[in-house]
């Protein structure tokens, strides 16, 4: 289904897109980033905070990162309330994702991962390859929301198409 090459490609794509969105977001005031724009998590800041939280949760489940500060999806919008701190954490987590993908043992893709899911309130077990695919898909989903909010706010983030990822972006 997937390979370490897929993971490395998606990790690089993730970093490129985050740099684009955070760069465009930096052109807005803190109030503009926090304005409720009708998205699932409300604002640009809250959506980016949720996305950072989700990355930490999954990296922790994968045994490749530190746990998130917040325990629930509802609280994920408060994972990183300070913008400058969130920018630094985003960069650090993106580096963690790249290192994790680069050093991933592909033989583990055939295994299942079990964890307690707060979202469904029970123990869950799923194929690791599916969960890694979800990990990257979840990022793309919420970045699309942020891209739309930024565009509506008059900003111009980079194109989001994977084939247009800059060459050499790793």
Residue 85 counted as domain residue? yes
pLDDT score at 51: 94
What residue has token string 């926090």? 34
pLDDT in tens, 11-33: 999 999 999 999 999 999 999 99
Q: What is the 3-state secondary structure (H, E, C) of 79-136?
A: CCCCHHHHHHHHHHHHHHHHHHHHCCCHHHHHCEEEEEECCCCEEEEEEHHHHHHHHH
pLDDT at 157 exceeding the cut of 70: yes
Whose structure tokens read 């998606």? 10
Give the span between the Cα atoms of 85 and 93, in whole angstroms.
12
**Each residue of 40-64: pLDDT tens digit?**
999 999 999 999 999 999 999 999 9
Question: Is residue 79 pLDDT above 90, yes or no?
Answer: no
Arithmetic mean of pLDDT, 32-37? 97
> In the chain, how many domains are there?
1
Q: Tell whether 160 is covered by a domain.
A: no
83 is in which domain, residue-wise?
4-104+111-155
Asked if residue 46 is part of any domain, the answer here is yes
Q: With b meaning 16 or more CB within 10 Å and e meaning fewer, what string describes 139-152?
A: beebbebbbebbee
Examine residue 76 and state whether it is found in any structural domain, yes or no. Answer: yes
Which pLDDT does position 164 carry in this prediction? Answer: 87
In a domain, 165, yes or no: no
Q: Domain for residue 168, yes or no?
A: no
Convert the pLDDT of each residue in 81-120 to its tens digit: 999 999 999 999 999 999 999 999 999 999 999 999 888 8
116 domain residue, yes or no: yes
We report the CATH number of the domain holding residue 60 as: 1.20.120.450
Instruction: Tell me if 169 is assigned to some domain.
Output: no
């Amino acid at each position: 289904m997937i390979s370490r090459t897929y993971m490395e490609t998606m990790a690089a794509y993730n970093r490129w897109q985050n740099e684009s969105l955070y760069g465009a977001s930096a052109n807005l005031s803190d109030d503009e980033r926090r304005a409720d724009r009708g998205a699932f998590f409300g604002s640009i800041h809250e959506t980016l905070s949720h996305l950072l939280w989700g990355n930490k949760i999954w990296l922790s489940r994968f045994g490749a990162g530190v746990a998130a500060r917040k325990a629930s999806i509802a609280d994920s919008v408060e994972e990183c309330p300070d913008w400058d701190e969130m920018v630094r954490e985003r960069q650090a987590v993106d580096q963690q994702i790249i290192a994790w993908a680069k050093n991933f043992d592909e033989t583990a893709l055939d295994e299942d991962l079990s964890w307690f899911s707060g979202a469904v309130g029970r123990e869950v077990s799923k194929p690791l390859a599916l969960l890694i695919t979800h990990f990257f898909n979840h990022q793309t989903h919420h970045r699309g929301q942020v891209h739309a909010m930024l565009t509506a706010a008059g900003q111009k983030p980079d194109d989001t198409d994977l084939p247009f990822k800059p060459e050499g972006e790793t």
